[in-house]
Structure 1
Amino acid sequence: MLRENQSHMPEFLLLGLTSDPKQQGWLFASFLAMYLVNVTGNSVIIAAIRRDARLHTPMYFLLSSLSLVDICFTSAIVPRMLANMLSKSKVPFAQCLTQMYFFVAFGITDSFLLAVMAVDRYMAICNPLHYSMTMSPRRYLLLVMVSWVLSHLHSLTYTILMACLSFCGPNVIHHFFCDVQPLLTLSCSDTSINELLAFTEGSFVIMSPFILIIVSYIFITRAVLRVRSERGRYKVFSTCQSYLIVVVLFYGTIIFVYIRPSSTYSVTKDRVVTVIYTVVTPMLNPFIYSLRNKDMKQALKKLVRRVE
């Protein structure tokens, strides 16, 4: 079936963010800069955590895992996007499916890891006496591995169903990468199963972690408000603040794009919002986590001194 599909439409043309040649130059420079900042910043976070023995804790292990996923997530999109800005070359169907597969897989992994980080904070703040025993390094490693495996299985399901569709033309994707919904709009097959899966499964893998995060932070807030020391409350809230900023940026944009009926799909709005959670948020994460965290600041200073 895949070979049959590729014989109908062997290649796709990505329109990108704009068709105006005058804007391509500054867009290319902007996205290249953001991509380099993302890769460099998240790599520095990983290196700083690995080098500093004080940060060899579950919380920072999860943070380094999230940084790795952010690098992979953006790398699945931006390099192809930059190449497309330089030359409007067509993308083979197999490459389009591959890009969609990794985009969905890393996006879901990001969502799962944010939920695991919320559970970690809940256990550390609400059950500190049982924290070290309940959330052991082995259990954290298992949680991260399960997040990766489940996300790739979900993505594989989407990709296989997409490969079974027929595409009769036109071959123009009104997006800057091969996302699920833009591909479905080009198919001449019955996409009801794909759209139902995208909505139900998408709701599950996005909303379930998001609800878990909300519930965890309701309990965390209640626990913090019971702390008599104002300094103690401030310390806990400042630790959680950077995480909540990341959650709002990530889930706010991703829910807007995916948790809604396909009839409300808007090409222009979705492209702009998609830039936020695929490029901007992963780029900002290293700064959000490091600027609000004293331990990370010290670890980064140590890393800089070693490099010098």
Structure 2
Amino acid sequence: MKIKTSLLTFTLGMLTVLTVKAQDKEVVIAVDTLSQNVYMLTGQGGNIGIYVGETNVFMIDDQFDRLSDKIKTTIGSLTSKPLATLFNTHMHGDHSGGNAKFNSETVLLVAHDNVRDRIRANQQKKLDKGEITADYLVRMLPEVTFSDDITFYDGDETIMAFHVHNAHTDGDAMVYFTNNNVLHMGDTYFSGRYPYMDLKSGGSINGYIAAHRKALMVINDDTKIIPGHGRPSTKKELETYVVMLEDIRTKIQAVIDTGASLEDVKANSSLTKMYDEVHGTGFISPERFRETIYNSLKEK
């Protein structure tokens, strides 16, 4: 019996390893050219923004640790200029998991104050379990943080980064390349699908909508938008998206006001029905989205 159990455990373990390796082999880093100097990289995880400046590269987010070599190779196919700045839009691992692999003495890692705090807390748990080294933890952490806004200058380009409060998390920041007219919204925007709001990490439906409204004040009809997930987008699409969010929020608030429970809202498909076909096929199902908004509105 012990031999059979051990064999089963070994077999399951090998299947897991083979599955992970197969997934890694299948990941292709695709490139979208959004302007003369700005590119969007898509692989596995959050969308990456790459700005090729006069002498250096400015990078936004870095997906997972295991994909770092592939991402570096792709960046190398775009330019021979070195990476100088890495910006995290927020703390989630599919956007910041490669920090340690990209961080070096010549790379400056930048993020909102809360991003550093949350990454440190998450990595400390791994350090305590012996999963990472102390040096790895240090290289995961942003070296420069800000509370509201920070601006970078590169020749004629001005790169504006600004914090949006309690949207996807409590540390979200958008990055706008003014001359190239490209805005990276991180996970404050899931193009073509319902968004994920991490309520446990400070996210909220009201903050999410406010973030969209702030973005719309910055951009114009010609702006290219890099969403946290999904295909490149436009101002018109973002306007339609935020109207959808506001409509669903209003409907769920209305049934909350009549005494509806969480289970009532999860079961009431009519609250999101008109949007489900287009936006409800992604990572966040319509039922889960209704649940998130309900919990967010009840917390306010």
Common fold by TM > 0.5: no
Structure with the bigger percentage of helix: 1
- Greater fraction of residues in strand: 2
TM-score, normalising length: structure 2 = 0.28
TM norm structure 1: 0.28
Report 1 or 2 for greater relative contact order, CA contacts < 8 Å, sequence distance ≥ 6. Answer: 1
